[in-house]
Each structure stands twice: as structure tokens, then as C-alpha cells.
Structure 1
Amino acid sequence: MKHEWRKEEKNYYQPGRKPELKEIPRFQFLTISGQGNPNSESFGEYIAQLYALSYGLKMNLKKMDNPPAEYQDYAVYPLEGVWDLTEEGRQTYDGAIDKDELVFTLMIRQPDFIDEEYFREILELTGKKKPHPLLDKVRFQSIEEGPVVQMLHVGSYDDEPESFRQMEAFAAEQRLKRLSKTHREIYLSDFRKTEPAKLKTVLRFRVAKS
């Protein structure tokens, strides 16, 4: 039976539209880091390489005579992004973000039965079939977020500050402190096919007891 993250992992990927406290365990990801405006054409190339590898991992598993013992078919996980600002961007921040100063790590989660050795095999195979300079920047990483405040944001990415204000107010009520201005976004909608007012994005930031 196919593993559907939208149905079977709702606690991580389907929060409500009000802030909540959640413990996020260790997961493994393909990641790629960069800097610049997410509206630029080059940004799309980062996303394309992550998806090319993620689907390569999935489809080659289906062809294996002896797949891993824990293997089951699965829906590819959604794109995620961890966002920050350059040092210059922090110094010039006046409430409006200069998108050219954004620093990002994009990622797609991978099932537990995928290991780094298999990732390396598919990375090499993909590089031979469709070489791209960004493939060399993709990493296989294990990441544990721990305690986070999260909520579902519906609407334009430019309207996210209002959701973050709600999340920070909730954290203060719960006597939690936000660990940094870095935050995570999980993209439940395809921004290329969805009008801005209907975009669905999970927002998260890490917290600790104050």
C-alpha cells in the first residue's frame, strides 16, 4: 500500500489556521542551499534538481529486484524551505524584506529506508543522464527540529508576516521564546498553478522554554 503523507502524517503537514506547539522528530532530507530572490528564474533550478533526484530515488526503488526490507511505495514529500537573511540584509531590514538578500536551504524529505549510499548512486546516475552544476550542491542530511510553533498560512507569501505575528503572540502566551528569526516553510500548493490568495503553506519556527 502506498504511503500518502497527506493522509498518514497530518500532524506534521496539516496543521490548522491557528498556531500550535508541535514536536518535530528527526527526518532525513535532500537539501540544497543558496541565496537570492525566490522570484528569479535561477531559483526554479534549485527546486528542479531536488525534484529530479527525489523522483529518481522513488522510481529506481520500484525497479529493484531486492529493495530495502522496509520499502513501500510512497508519495514524494512536499518542498520545504528554511529562510534567513544575509548579514547585510539584517542590517538594512526596516520591516520590508529585500528579497535579493534572502538566504535559503530548500529540501525534500525522504523515507527512512533511503540511505546516503543509495542517494549517491542516484546522484551519479542523474548527473550522467541530465548533468547540471547545481547537482553538486545537493546534500543528504538528517535534521531534527524539536519543539516548534506552526500553523497553516493561506494566501500570498507576502502576507506571511501577519501569520508570524500570531505565532509569536501564541509563543509568548505559552512562555516560549523563538530561537531565531530563521523559519521553515512547507509548500502544500504548487505556486506555478495556484493563485496567490489560495496558496497553502505550513509555517514553523523553533522554540524553547523562556
Structure 2
Amino acid sequence: MSASPERVQSPNVDIKKARRDLYSGRAGRFDVVEVPEMQFLMVDGSGDPNVSADYRRAVEALYTTSYTIRAEAKTDLGRTHTVGPLEGLWYADDLGVFTARDKSAWSWTMMIWQPEWITPGMA
């Protein structure tokens, strides 16, 4: 009986450590950075993130899916990564809602980075 080949575990990838230039800004300073093409799980929505049930559900879904994908990649691919930080894009048709702090009129895209070896079929 032959032994099955050992799966070699690849080193863990942590986007915040691998790309410190993108994830370690300094207070009181602006830096120009070149952001490469990256892939993210994303959810779009609108409304005040402090009180919106849709926002809460979107963030929960992103983390649940990200941790599920991480486990699948570890089991099926032998690849591990640290789940990335929650990131967000905020926008509105009328930019005045930002200076007025009218969060109920904000739209958002919340997202969590995924490594290049994650495919759409894994989500």
C-alpha cells in the first residue's frame, strides 16, 4: 500500500502585511499610492451604516462568506490567507450629503479582499 502524497502547506498570505503601502497610512499625512488590480467580495447598499439593518446584514454576509472561502481554500487548495479588513466606498448623487452628515442619503459598497487563487465558483 503506497502512502498518499503529503500536501505542502503554502505560507499564510496577509494582505495588510504583504501590501503595507496600501494598508498602513499615517495620521496627518497624505500619500499617493499605486493600487494594483485586486479582487474583492462586495455588497452594495445605501443608508446610514449606524442604524441600517441592510448594512449589518451586508457586513455579516461578507465576513461569513470570506471565512467560508478561506476554509475551503485551505482544505481544497492547501492555501491559507488572513481574511482581509472590511473596506468601503462611500458615494452619493449629491455630495452635499457628506458635509451635511446626512448618512441616510449615503450609498456604499462594502468589500473584503480575496487572494488571486480564489475563484468565483468558491464564493
CA gap 1:53/1:22 in 2 versus in 1, 3 angstroms: same
Distance in 2 (CA, whole Å) between partners of 1:77 and 1:26 is: 15
CA gap 1:91/1:24 in 2 versus in 1, 3 angstroms: closer
Shift of 1:45: 1.1
Out of 114, 125, 136, which is 2:118 matched to?
114
CA gap 1:39/1:62 in 2 versus in 1, 3 angstroms: same
SS in structure 2 opposite 1:83? strand
Superposed, 1:3-82 pairs within 5 Å as 3-17=13-27, 18-42=29-53, 43-64=55-76, 67=77, 72-82=79-89
Query: Normalised by the size of structure 1, how large is the TM-score?
Result: 0.49
SS in structure 1 opposite 2:13? coil
1:130-174, Cα deviation, whole Å (9 max, x unpaired): xxxxxxxxxxxxxxxxxxxxxxxxxxxxxxxxxxxxxxxxxxxxx
| Structure (1 or 2) with the greater strand fraction | 1
Superposed, 1:1-210 pairs within 5 Å as 1-17=11-27, 18-42=29-53, 43-64=55-76, 67=77, 72-85=79-92, 87=93, 90=94, 93=97, 95-119=99-123
CA gap 1:93/1:52 in 2 versus in 1, 3 angstroms: closer
Equivalent pairs: percent with the same residue?
28
Shift of 1:63: 2.0
Return 5+ residue gaps in structure 2 as ranges.
Answer: 1-10
CA RMSD of aligned residues (A): 1.8
Shift of 1:11: 0.7
Shift of 1:58: 0.4
